[in-house]
Amino acid sequence: MKVQSPLEVYNYLPGTNCKECGEETCMAFASKLIDRSKTLDMCKEILDEAYKEEYEKLEDMLSPEIKEIIIGVGDKAVKVGGEDVLYRHQLTFYNQPPFAYDVTDVMSEKEITERVNFVNNYKKFYVGNFLRLDMIAIRSVSDDPEKFKECVKKVKDLTELPIILMSFNPDVLDAGLEIIKDRRPLVYAANEDNWQKVAELIDKYKVPVVLFSPDLDKLSSLAKTFVEMGMDELVLDPGTYPSGKQLMGTFERFIKLRRSAIKDGNKDVAFPLIGIPAISSLISKDKDEFEQAVSESILTILEILKYGDLLVFHNIAPYAILPAIHLRFNIYTDPRSPVQVDAGLFKMGNPDENSPLFLTTNFALTYFTVKSDLESNNIDSYLLVVNTDGIGVEASVAGGQLNTGKIKDAIETTKAKEVIKHNTLVLPGLAARLSGATEDETGMKVLVGPTDSGRIAKWMEDHWESDK
Amino acid sequence: MSENKDLSLSLKDIQNMLDNYGVEELKDIKIEGDLEIEVEPLSGGVSITPEMLQSMVVANEAKQAVYHISNLFKMFGLSLSFQDISTIPTPVQAPVTEEVLKPRFKPLENLIAKKFNVSKDEWRLKVEEITLGATKTDGGTRGNVIKIGGEQAMPFYCWDGNIPNRPVVALDVFDMPISLAKAVKVHYEDVVHDPGDWARKAVKDYKADMVTIHLISTDPLIKDTPAKEAAKAVEEVLQAVDVPIVIGGSGNPDKDPEVLEKAAEVAEGERCLIASANLDMDWERIGNAAKKYGHNILSWTQLDMNNQRELNRKLLKVVEMPRDRIVIDPTTAALGYGLDYAYTNMERIRLAALGGDDELSFPMSSGTTNAWGAREAWMINSPMPEDSDWGPREFRGPLWEIYTGLPLAIAGVDLFMMMHPLSVRVLKETTQTLLGMIEGEKVDISNWIKEV
Ligand code: B12
Ligand code: SF4
């Protein structure tokens, strides 16, 4: 975004402090626009035609540095790009790079079905949500439009996920596009040789397109040319290379492109970047499956961290997907606020008045870890979640957000004492040092549980009945 | 523009308008009289071209043209009324305007030539360069010394400035058998009872650049081994291998000063790294011991840049530790368990250092082994029945360690403390690749779509 200070934004807002946007003042709203926690259309007044000029000015000022592109349709559509900063602490990174997994037009029907279904159904629980996979990339290995068409048809029936059509042959792309044009696929790719024909297709089908060249002058030329021709829904591929000096060059190109776009304001390259970790198979084909997964993982890590806005994979080994989806989530988490859950009193399973009452904090990672430990071990219980501003147990005991005053308040506001008759509260092991004072303040009997909630089941056997 | 609000036009007016003003002039439409529209190029390269307006009106689809133009005018805050407007359905705002504004395809003959330019990061300060280990010539018994730090650019941004040293890996060795994740344990089962053998295996078989001897048995809650006895393990390791070493305590704030002081004494002159001084303990005593016996000191704080500054300042001003003998550990949290905090904290520290903050311009160390604390690294399978299969942990674990270490290398870590042999190999290979030290196999990717 071109502006840094709320004042610059404020100058164009109506200045009436009418509070319609949910903020006390226009100035407060301006700072929310700057940190992208609110959007311009939340100010009803500025939508009035009297403010047309201001609206347009603001819209331009507030648009992200890197163009945001939508691929696919409906619920499953993905946003790529839309980034504003080079380092996440400067604001946050916005759109997690979608993960696309490949199928080819020479795979058997069975293999295609298995792979697509795997991607469709994959999920991993993490801080309150399921992490999932996002797209299917269809590669034409046959170079035969008919075969490609068949493959696209199959995939289209198997999934609602957004699709990338991959071939350097415009006839092949055309065949695929005809089948799937309504689903707003991404076309991969125009290069130095085929760009005119691909441009015609993009005009015909009105879909976003990838431009490919590891030579950044040529990539800039391609981008400039497409924009000039009236197409600006572009994704850039500066080439992913699997190893050695070439990989070093890949790292350098991704960083230079993003720096040029964001720091130097180079509009020619202010587009999302696509990374292709799948390319690692060019050198690891003969190696065992694990070695292949490792090669692809290295490219994945580098491209998640350094500006890949969309990634294409070949390997679907679950042990390789697991860390990749967590890294993506962690890097794209908003560093300005810990991921937190609501405080309160929650039932785990079907507790009754004899069930234990556990205490924890409202850091999402803590809460969901404890919840899943209780539920998967069938421990019917009450979980009292204290608001520690989203800080976990150990860090909030150290930093003071979890203290006896807060615990007492939480017990009172939730009326936790009324749901149980044993008057016993179980603290996390890592909050042991608060136990004495908590007993004094709350008048409850306090037991100290294990340090890891994963061991609560065992602890229950040894301590609950005897100590409560 | 508000005076134009109540304007009304007929389709005929528009047609006349187009005829009168000709295609070229429409780029900044200027209509005399009471109507004035200025069409500025909008952001994102979207602009209204004359061809567009023309095609809409000249096309026989009059109704559609009216519809589009009405939309277009709405965009500019003008209201229109048409004789036959009643038969026109209410336009769907967003998609239609987008379509209207979208420029028409203008095929080009040739690519527009462009030269890609990018600025260089200019930095003011370089990271201190630290020497680990001492050979015979400088009073120790190590076979080689290792240098870390000295960067004049962000990690691996070799095009911006000099990066003289590669990141190095120290493998963890403990002074007693400890519980290890299964995937790690299998590699050390035969040596866990002997720190010397353990260190030898780490260097010989797993190509450790260094080893860390952790004196964890000194913890009063573990074995409470006296400092003097614990120091023997240090001597054992020094004899078993000739790489530079790191000496770690148990983390117990009361016992560590005494233990590390004794260890520093028995390793005098070897230029080890003493791990660590920490704000919650007697950092002064540990710092003094490191200084007195010719070692480097590890300054460890927990995910807080200001605390890191404070402790470094204390070591510099109070202990008077030379600048080229401090390494910092801003804390490593595992992937999925706070890696985001660790990554950003380290990245910010390095940016601050290069930008001129001399209280932070020291090489960084990471306890990457923390990765093994994550459930996803060691559990047999997910405790959540809804989860997809996690895959075998003997593959998942080392990847978890790689996924914790490599991002931190990109954030600026110079020294890694690790455990799994495969993770060590991959981390070393990748960081050396990014520094251009590995030629690698050259491939042609121009036809990768067909070849993968
Ligand atoms: C990430 C992290 C942070 C993040 C916090 C992010 C957040 N939103 O919570 C940040 C950067 C903000 C942070 C700051 C600090 N941190 Co910190 N931080 C960590 C780190 C790396 C991971 C903590 C974590 O998230 N663990 C995962 C969660 C799920 O764990 P948890 O909440 O404790 O929950 C587990 C158990 O408690 C238990 N459990 C939870 N609820 C319940 C309930 C019951 C009934 C039972 C039985 C069990 C149970 O099971 C859970 C799963 O295992 C640890 C080091 C480590 N352990 O790896 C240090 C650590 C916790 N931090 C520490 C410190 C000192 C601090 C600071 C005070 C540093 C400073 N000087 O500024 C500040 C305090 C900031 C504040 N409170 O405002 C110390 C705490 C030392 C101590 N024991 O006193 C640690 C251990 C690092 C260390 N080794 O020194 N930290
Ligand atoms: S809605 Fe608009 S005018 Fe009203 S306070 Fe918010 S920013 Fe100001």
Q: Which ligand is nearest to the CA of A47?
A: 2
Residue A135: phi, psi to the nearest 5?
-145, 165
Q: What's the rounded mean pLDDT across residues B123-135?
A: 98
The answer to whether residue A1 sits within a structural domain is no
The encoded tokens of residue A396 equal 């909030």
| Sheet strand arrangement including A163-166 | A234-237, A209-212, A186-190, A163-166, A135-139, A99-104, A310-313, A274-275
Instruction: Check CB contact under 8 Å for A283 and B406.
Output: no
For the Cβ of A316 lying below 6 angstroms from any atom of ligand 1, the answer is: no
Give dist(CA A458, CA A377) in Å, integer.
Answer: 10
Same domain, A450 and A364: yes
Query: Which candidate, A349, A385, A327, A150, places its Cα nearest to that of B342?
Result: A327
Measured CA distances, B174 to B224, B267, B268 (Å) = 14, 17, 21
Between helix B62-75 and helix B11-25 the angle, nearest 10°, is 70
List the binding residues of A for [4Fe-4S] cluster: 18, 21, 26, 43
pLDDT tops 70 at residue B101: no
Question: DSSP of A357-382, one letter per residue?
Answer: EEEEE-BHHHHHHHHHHHHHTT--EE
Q: Residue B64: its pLDDT value, please?
A: 43
| pTM (2 d.p.) | 0.85
> Ligand 2: which of A9, A11, A21 to mutate, most ligand atoms within 8 Å of CB?
A21
Give dist(CA B317, CA B291) in Å, integer.
Answer: 13
Q: Map tokens 């791990």 to a residue.
A: B275
Among A274, A306, A331, where does a domain finish?
A: A331
What CATH code is carried by the domain that includes residue A444? 3.40.50.11600
Instruction: Check CB contact under 8 Å for B116 and A269.
Output: yes
For the Cβ of A426 lying below 6 angstroms from any atom of ligand 1, the answer is: yes
pLDDT tops 60 at residue B60: no
**Cβ of residue A27 closer than 8 Å to a chain B Cβ:** no
**Cβ of residue A324 closer than 8 Å to a chain B Cβ:** yes
The answer to whether residue A418 sits within a structural domain is yes
Q: Residue B103: its pLDDT value, please?
A: 54
For the Cβ of A389 lying below 6 angstroms from any atom of ligand 1, the answer is: no
Q: What's the rounded mean pLDDT across residues B54-69?
A: 41
Give dist(CA A10, CA A2) in Å, integer.
Answer: 14
B322–chain A nearest CA distance, Å? 31
- Residues of chain B positioned with their CB less than 8 A from the CB of A139: 449-450, 452
Give the Cα-Cα-Cα angle A305, A308, A311 (nearest 5 degrees). Answer: 115
At a CB cut-off of 8 Å and minimum separation 6, what does B393 contact?
A319, B181, B182, B183, B377, B378, B379, B380
The encoded tokens of residue B197 equal 């053998």
Query: Which candidate, B397, B431, B374, B353, places its Cα nearest to that of B169?
Result: B431
The answer to whether residue A203 sits within a structural domain is yes
Same domain, A312 and A369: no
**Cβ of residue A182 closer than 8 Å to a chain B Cβ:** no
Give dist(CA B197, CA B187) in Å, integer.
Answer: 13
**Residue from the list A89, A282, A314 with its beta carbon closest to the beta carbon of B348:** A89
Q: Map tokens 């306090």 to a residue.
A: A446
Q: Residue A36: its pLDDT value, please?
A: 85
The encoded tokens of residue B104 equal 């028409």
Instruction: Check CB contact under 8 Å for A248 and B339.
Output: no
Give dist(CA A201, CA B141) in Å, integer.
Answer: 70
**Residue from the list B156, B344, B403 with its beta carbon closest to the beta carbon of A327:** B403
The encoded tokens of residue B420 equal 């799994």
Same domain, A317 and A391: no
- Residues of chain B positioned with their CB less than 8 A from the CB of A398: 302
Q: Model confidence at B29, in pLDDT bands (50, 70, 90)?
A: very low
- How many other CB atoms are found less than 10 A from the CB of residue A312? 28
How far is CA B193 from its chain centroid? 37
Instruction: Kindly list the averaged pLDDT for each block of 10 residues, start to end, along chain A of length 468.
Output: 85 92 93 89 91 91 94 96 96 96 98 98 92 98 98 98 98 98 97 97 97 98 96 97 97 98 96 98 90 97 98 97 98 88 94 96 92 90 95 91 95 95 96 95 95 91 88
Q: Residue B3: its pLDDT value, please?
A: 36
Atom of ligand 2 nearest to the CA of A20: 1
pLDDT in tens, B215-267: 999 999 899 999 999 999 999 999 999 999 999 999 899 999 999 999 999 99
> Which residue minimizes the CA distance to atom 8 of ligand 2?
A26
Same domain, A159 and A251: yes
**Cβ of residue A435 closer than 8 Å to a chain B Cβ:** no
Count of helices and strands (H, E) across chain A = 19, 17
Q: Helix-strand-coil percent breakdown of chain A, rounded to 5?
A: 50, 15, 35
What CATH code is carried by the domain that includes residue A34? 1.10.15.40
The encoded tokens of residue B295 equal 């070692």
- Residues of chain A positioned with their CB less than 8 A from the CB of B384: 125, 372, 376
Give dist(CA B404, CA B408) in Å, integer.
Answer: 7
For the Cβ of A381 lying below 6 angstroms from any atom of ligand 1, the answer is: no
The alpha carbon dihedral of A63, A69, A72, A78 has a sign of negative
**Cβ of residue A58 closer than 8 Å to a chain B Cβ:** no
The encoded tokens of residue A102 equal 């490949």
Q: Residue A318: its pLDDT value, please?
A: 97
Domain assignment of residue A18, given as a range: 6-62
Give dist(CA A419, CA A347) in Å, integer.
Answer: 10
> Which residue minimizes the CA distance to atom 4 of ligand 2?
A18
Q: What is the ipTM of this complex?
A: 0.89
**Cβ of residue A229 closer than 8 Å to a chain B Cβ:** yes
Same domain, A48 and A156: no
Give the Cα-Cα-Cα angle A314, A100, A142 (nearest 5 degrees). Answer: 55
Q: What's the rounded mean pLDDT across residues B383-399?
A: 93
Instruction: Check CB contact under 8 Å for B441 and A283.
Output: yes
Q: Which ligand is nearest to the CA of A33?
A: 2
Bridge partners (DSSP) of residue B146 are: B132
The encoded tokens of residue B213 equal 């001897």
pLDDT tops 50 at residue B65: no
The answer to whether residue A337 sits within a structural domain is no
Q: Model confidence at B87, in pLDDT bands (50, 70, 90)?
A: very low
Please name the residue of chain A whose CA is at the shortest distance from the CA of residue B450: A141
Q: Model confidence at B56, in pLDDT bands (50, 70, 90)?
A: very low
> Ligand 1: which of A363, A374, A394 to mutate, most ligand atoms within 8 Å of CB?
A394
Give the Cα-Cα-Cα angle A450, A455, A458 (nearest 5 degrees). Answer: 100
According to DSSP, residue B294 is labeled T
Consecutive H or E run containing B255: none
Among A39, A62, A85, where does a domain finish?
A: A62
Burial category of A251 from C-beta neighbours within 10 Å (exposed 0-12, middle 13-18, buried 19 and up): buried
Same domain, A162 and A116: yes
Among A41, A62, A83, where does a domain finish?
A: A62
Give dist(CA A175, CA B334) in Å, integer.
Answer: 46
Instruction: Check CB contact under 8 Å for A221 and B112.
Output: yes
Bridge partners (DSSP) of residue A211 are: A190, A236
Q: What's the rounded mean pLDDT across residues B398-412?
A: 98
Q: Model confidence at B281, in pLDDT bands (50, 70, 90)?
A: very high
What spacing in Å lies between the alpha carbon of A10 and ligand 2's midpoint?
A: 10
Query: Which candidate, B285, B393, B303, places its Cα nearest to that of B343?
Result: B303
Q: Model confidence at B32, in pLDDT bands (50, 70, 90)?
A: very low
Atom of ligand 1 nearest to the CA of B373: 58
pLDDT in tens, B308-319: 999 999 999 999
Q: What's the rounded mean pLDDT across residues B79-83?
A: 38
Architecture of domain B124-451: Alpha-Beta Barrel (3.20)
Query: Which candidate, A394, A388, A431, places its Cα nearest to that of A409?
Result: A388
Residue of B403, B432, B437, B451 to mutate, interface with A, max A Cβ within 10 Å: B403
Residue of B122, B304, B340 to mutate, interface with A, max A Cβ within 10 Å: B340
Chain A and chain B share a number of CB contacts under 8 A equal to: 258
The alpha carbon dihedral of B412, B416, B420, B425 has a sign of positive
Q: Measuring from each residue's beta carbon to the nearest atom of ligand 2, which residues come in under 6 Å?
A: A 13-14, 16-21, 23, 26, 29, 43-46
The answer to whether residue A336 sits within a structural domain is no
Query: Which candidate, A425, A431, A365, places its Cα nearest to that of A397?
Result: A431
Residues above pLDDT 70, as percent of chain B: 77
Burial category of B250 from C-beta neighbours within 10 Å (exposed 0-12, middle 13-18, buried 19 and up): buried
Give dist(CA A370, CA A373) in Å, integer.
Answer: 5
B452–chain A nearest CA distance, Å? 5
Number of structural domains found in chain A: 3
pLDDT tops 50 at residue B21: no
Q: Residue B16: its pLDDT value, please?
A: 52
Beta strands A68-71 and A424-427 are: unpaired
For the Cβ of A447 lying below 6 angstroms from any atom of ligand 1, the answer is: no
pLDDT in tens, B136-170: 999 999 999 999 999 999 999 999 999 999 999 99
Count of helices and strands (H, E) across chain B = 15, 10
Consecutive H or E run containing A310: strand A310-313
> Which residue minimizes the CA distance to atom 44 of ligand 1?
A428
**Cβ of residue A125 closer than 8 Å to a chain B Cβ:** yes
At a CB cut-off of 8 Å and minimum separation 6, what does A433 contact?
A397
Q: Collapsing DSSP states into helix, strand and coil, what is residue A172?
A: helix
> Which residue minimizes the CA distance to atom 2 of ligand 2?
A43
Same domain, A319 and A348: no
pLDDT in tens, B183-204: 999 999 999 999 999 999 999 9
- Residues of chain A positioned with their CB less than 8 A from the CB of B445: 214, 239-241, 279, 282
Q: Residue ranges of the domains in chain B?
A: 11-101, 124-451
For the Cβ of A362 lying below 6 angstroms from any atom of ligand 1, the answer is: no
Instruction: Check CB contact under 8 Å for B388 and A124.
Output: yes
Same domain, A166 and A53: no
Give dist(CA B336, CA A16) in Å, integer.
Answer: 45
The alpha carbon dihedral of A57, A63, A66, A67 has a sign of negative
For the Cβ of A428 lying below 6 angstroms from any atom of ligand 1, the answer is: yes
- Residues of chain B positioned with their CB less than 8 A from the CB of A330: 335-336, 339-340, 343
Instruction: Check CB contact under 8 Å for B449 and A168.
Output: yes
A341: number of CA atoms within 13 Å, CB side? Answer: 25
Helical H runs in B270-354? Answer: 283-292, 305-317, 339-354
Give dist(CA B167, CA B428) in Å, integer.
Answer: 7
pLDDT in tens, B426-448: 999 999 999 999 999 999 999 99
For residues B210 and B243, the answer to whether their CB atoms sit within 8 Å is yes
Bridge partners (DSSP) of residue A102 are: A137
Please name the residue of chain A whose CA is at the shortest distance from the CA of residue B113: A221
Residue of B122, B388, B428 to mutate, interface with A, max A Cβ within 10 Å: B388
Q: Collapsing DSSP states into helix, strand and coil, what is residue B371?
A: helix
Same domain, A163 and A226: yes
What CATH code is carried by the domain that includes residue A288? 3.20.20.20
Give dist(CA A328, CA A47) in Å, integer.
Answer: 36
Give dist(CA B73, CA B79) in Å, integer.
Answer: 7
Please name the residue of chain B whose CA is at the shortest distance from the CA of residue A125: B387
Give dist(CA B268, CA A410) in Å, integer.
Answer: 55
Q: Residue A315: its pLDDT value, please?
A: 95
Instruction: Check CB contact under 8 Å for B386 and A231.
Output: no
- Residues of chain B positioned with their CB less than 8 A from the CB of A258: none
Same domain, A241 and A377: no
